[in-house]
Structure 1
Amino acid sequence: MSSVNLRHSVRAIVLDEDKRILLCRFAFPEPAGTVVWATPGGGIEPGETPLAALSRELREEVGLAVPTDPPHVWHQEVAAPGYAEGYDGVINDYFLVRTVAFTPRGTLSDDRLAAENISGMKWWHPHEIASYDGADLFSPRDLATPLTALITAGVPAVPIRLGL
């Protein structure tokens, strides 16, 4: 039986006081011109706890300190070759981080961010995501639906399972 090599990542749903979510703009070279707006976060390093990884990623990418115990609100598993370079897919665990609006600037240089395919950051209202009709993608693809439910209904008792 072959094992599937999934990249385990943590991601932050960073919400400000106006219920806007902070998304990173990932510009991927293949397929050419692919742009995906996704929450900040990244892979868990060997020996690192999910919370330590989340704290490190948020500090590096956007310059935000993580609260002590952010709620785990979403869980996503995507087994798709090519979805995460060098892996058969990804497991994303999403944590809710509430903050006041700020200008994102992490510890990584622009060159290091570019090496991670991050080419910008933007605060989005859920209705802007829901009504977006451009070529860019969101991750998860139907981000507006679980985001609106999270804002409306609050933190779920158990993490919501997301699709692609």
Structure 2
Amino acid sequence: MTEPIARRAGRILLLDAQERLLLFHGFDPARPTHGYWFTPGGGLDDGETMLEAAARELYEETGLKLDPEQLGPAVWSEVTEFPFDGLRYRQEQEFFVVRVKSWEVDTSGFEELERDSVDAHRWWSLDELIATDQRYYPENLPSLLRGVLEA
């Protein structure tokens, strides 16, 4: 087995005034039946910090433009390994919280791979996330969200 591709990513927990979390639904192109929900965010470009990548990805994926400093400190970090599009990744990622009254998501900034592998988005309450039998990442998302809401 080959070594996983190392990657770093900044991710966003985007919350609205009703304390609902924005998640995207997508699938692995190499495994089209493997659907899952995930937070906005993505990999760092050369020379970017986690904050800069998270802010850039938030804009590209939702249309919400913020300065990286507006994100504040990371509320959680992890290292995860996963397959995607026939490759295996080992990703270090940090999660940042952004709160908005409401937001009309604009996905026109998606890259081609995102347009091809992301098919929906919706706002989730903590109770909906706990009750769903649908797959989401990270796997501890309900406890992470609960911690953010209680802070």
State the partner residue of 1:105: 106
Identity of aligned residues (%): 26
- Listed as ranges, the gaps of 5+ residues in structure 1 are 155-164
SS in 2 for 1:72: coil
| Aligned mate of 2:135, from 134, 137, 143 | 137
**Cα-Cα RMSD:** 2.4
Contact 2:29/2:84 (<8 A) preserved:
no
**CA shift for structure 1 position 86:** 4.0
**CA shift for structure 1 position 110:** 8.4
- Once the two structures are overlaid, the 10-residue window that deviates more, 28-37 or 82-91, is 82-91
Change beyond 3 A, Cα 1:142–1:51: closer
Contact 1:25/1:37 (<8 A) preserved:
yes
Contact 2:61/2:110 (<8 A) preserved:
no
**CA shift for structure 1 position 41:** 0.4
What does 1:68-147 correspond to in 2, within 5 Å?
Answer: 68-70=69-71, 71-80=73-82, 82=83, 86-108=87-109, 113-115=114-116, 117-133=117-133, 136-147=134-145
**CA shift for structure 1 position 32:** 3.2
SS in 2 for 1:64: coil
- Counterpart residue identity of residue 51, structure 2: L
**CA shift for structure 1 position 142:** 2.5
Contact 2:30/2:86 (<8 A) preserved:
no
Contact 2:21/2:123 (<8 A) preserved:
yes
Change beyond 3 A, Cα 1:109–1:146: closer
C-alpha distance in structure 1 between counterparts of 2:103 and 2:91, whole Å: 29
Matched, 1:18 2:18: yes
SS in 1 for 2:70: coil
- Listed as ranges, the gaps of 5+ residues in structure 2 are none
**CA shift for structure 1 position 84:** 7.8
- Counterpart residue identity of residue 144, structure 1: P
SS in 1 for 2:140: coil
Name the structure where helix makes up a greater proportion of residues: 2
Name the structure where strand makes up a greater proportion of residues: 2
**CA shift for structure 1 position 113:** 3.2
State the partner residue of 1:34: 34
Change beyond 3 A, Cα 1:106–1:149: same
SS in 1 for 2:37: strand
Give the structure-1-normalised TM-score. Answer: 0.79
